[in-house]
Amino acid sequence: MKIYSVNDPEFREYGKVLEGYDTKELIDAMNNIALPDAGTAYEPGIASLENCKIFADFQDRAYGGMPIQLGMCWGHNTKLNCLEYHRDSEINLGTGDFVLLLAKQGDIVNGVLDTATVKAFKAPAGVPVEVYATSLHYAPCQVSEEGFRVAIVLPKGTNTEKPEFKAMCDEDTWLTARNKWLLAHAESDEAKGGAHVGLSGKNIDLLED
């Protein structure tokens, strides 16, 4: 699978690189959190990260003063498994290089997206990357065998407890958490747990592709 850079023109329709942020303090705080032995971990908000000066910069500059949360996804992953989207942009920042597998929300047809439309983008260490609301994404993929640590910035409350309501359309059934609509591949644990199977084609694995 071809891996583009977030600095390549191909990334422009999926997101953009943010400039003017001092990321050192945040990276140091992220590196103080141990990696799991296997799999991935995710926390929507982590106090040691939100105490960094960059939190206010993200809130005021990147989100225009809206309430945000600063958490992290970290661990070991090379597979697609699922794609999700929010009603807003997400900011990712890694302590090391990492790869994002992305697709377009507009390519979902009748509740299903063909994984052949997915593109891979490598983000360099310490660089904040905005992923647009219309870009489907999920857990980052590692570049190093050591794994990855990627900060996740989102509006406050995202990925927390799902609201309870009566589904009135098919998309309503894709909601798996607050502000999180999910399309799962049939091979994924999420699908086995009842998530909407909305990815057709190969479950991409960067180790194989």
pLDDT score at 91: 98
Gap between the Cα atoms of 100 and 118, Å rounded = 10
Q: Average pLDDT, stretch 170-180?
A: 98
Q: What is the mean pLDDT of the chain?
A: 97
pLDDT score at 168: 98
pLDDT score at 89: 98
pLDDT score at 176: 97
Helix (H) or strand (E) holding 56: helix 54-57
Collapse the DSSP code of 42 into the 3-class scheme (helix H, G, I; strand E, B; otherwise coil) and give the result. strand
pLDDT score at 184: 98
Farthest CA pair distance, the chain: 46
